Amino acid sequence: MGSRLFTSLWASQLVRQLLPTLTFTTRRQSLTLCGFAQSLNYPGHLVKLLNTLVPADFRAAVTWPVRRFYACTFINCFGFGLILSLFVVYLHNVRGFSEGFATLLLAVSSVVGLATAPLWGTFIDRFGPVRVSLVSSVLDAGALVYWAFVHTSLEAFIAALMLAVVGGAGWGPGTVLMARLVAEEHRQRAFGVNFMLVNLGIGFGGLVSASVVDLHHPGTFEVLYVANAFIMLVGAALFFTLLSYGGPVNEHHDDPKLRDEGWREVLADRRLVRYVVAAVCLMLGGYGAIDTGLSLFVVNNLHVSVHSIGIIFFFNTSTIVLAQLSMLNRIEGHSRARILALVGVCWFVFWVILASALALPKFLAIASICVAMVVFAIGEIMFQPVGNAMVNEMAPEHLRGRYNAAGSFAWGVSGTLTPALTSIYFSFHFGNWWPIGTGVTALVGSAMMLNLRRSLSAKEDGRVAVA
């Protein structure tokens, strides 16, 4: 998710889409906003649309704890949006470090985050997702404040390592808690709504950041990093109110066999291992490459203005926010492995369109990339809910933290490998072939996901309703 341009259109559309999920409760009755819309004489087709986008059974599953969870997601991602994509710019343009030092530090941070992820997964299983999230958020906030005022290479290195170690927790605590807050049959939809709020929060944060940040005033960067630290603590305080739902799992302690289980059993699960390998290929042909090389390709190979990048990402993120709920209805009950394979196909189509833009005039090239970003977004809104639901369907409760840490391994690997792979293409003047090579990687991931389907039960693959 690179630098994205947002408008208030998304906020109004999100309110219209989420109306059914909110509930006004009095002592005598619970009145959903669908009924509220009817009481205000809204057109019947609007009420029908609301009921279609968010089915009644899912609205009932969006309890008060789930709403608090969603509020935490938006708050934290708004703060993250304030500083997204500022890492290298902050070090090089503001603090005066070389580009080589900045990119090297970014790569080292990715490796450290990847190496610490298994440890965080173990902590989640042992202490519960809420406590782990609280500790990681407090440490992250402290590291952000320190990072905001670094002036020497040693200070930058220490701060980056602190952020990387804490960042190893990733989305793990939240994913585990969401799996506990909603019933199995609603997890896929719940993860999808959460992903929509992730993008909305980052988008609004990015909009605020764009209006504040100024390369000629280093203080603006300091304000953004400190603001993110404060917002993170606010989100952590709200998240802590869910402690009763996110404690450690103790039931397995009475069983000697289950009590001794750990990463050995997780890595012995061939379904999970095959999923992670396939997801790595998808990510190398998806998010990782987008974040690492798209801006470089657009500016240097298509010779398009850097200002067009914001417009391009606008189409991507607006598609996610506007289409997520509808897509969740379309994929419900279908094979998760096949849906993930379709993700790879969507991303391959994206890269083909991007490569084709080389032969187009600048205006048409920009237009074609905007269309391509819509296609890429369609893959995103399938990948996020389906991948998380599949991993959590495989996971036994007492190992859920470790399973989710392993499932997120693809993010760390792609974040570590794609800068090197992208550098090879552009350093040896094969940049025009970068889109096709990356797209083929996504197709390999698709083939591996289809092969994974044979190892999954119908329930794990999402082909049957969960009782």
Q: Is the dihedral of CA 230, 174, 281, 368 positive or negative?
A: negative
Query: Within 10 A of 320 (CB to CB), how many other CB atoms are there?
Result: 26
Q: What is the pLDDT of residue 252?
A: 60
| 25 sits in which H/E element | strand 23-25
Burial class of residue 308 (count of CB atoms within 10 Å of its CB; 0-12, 13-18, 19+): middle
Nearest to 86 by CA among 201, 217, 224: 224
Give the three-state DSSP class for 168.
coil
Q: What is the pLDDT of residue 236?
A: 94
How remote is the C-alpha of 176 from its chain's centroid? 14
Contact 240, 114 (CB under 8 A): no
- With 0.85 as the threshold, say if the pTM is over it: no
Angstrom distance (rounded) from CA 317 to CA 380? 10
What's the start-to-end Cα distance of the chain, in Å?
36
Partner residues linked to 24 by β-bridges: 31
Give the three-state DSSP class for 23.
strand
CATH code of domain 265-467: 1.20.1250.20
DSSP-derived secondary structure letter, 96: -
Tens of pLDDT, residue by residue, the chain (467 residues): 443 433 333 333 433 343 333 333 333 334 444 554 454 455 656 656 666 777 778 888 889 999 999 999 999 999 998 887 778 778 888 888 887 788 788 778 888 888 898 899 999 988 999 999 999 999 999 999 999 999 999 999 999 999 999 988 888 899 999 999 998 888 889 999 998 899 889 888 888 887 888 878 889 999 999 999 999 999 999 999 999 898 887 766 566 677 777 888 999 999 999 999 999 999 999 888 887 788 778 878 888 876 677 778 888 888 988 898 889 989 988 999 999 999 999 999 999 999 999 999 989 999 999 999 999 999 999 998 999 999 999 999 888 999 998 888 888 888 778 877 887 888 788 889 999 999 999 999 999 999 999 999 999 998 875 54
Partner residues linked to 23 by β-bridges: 32
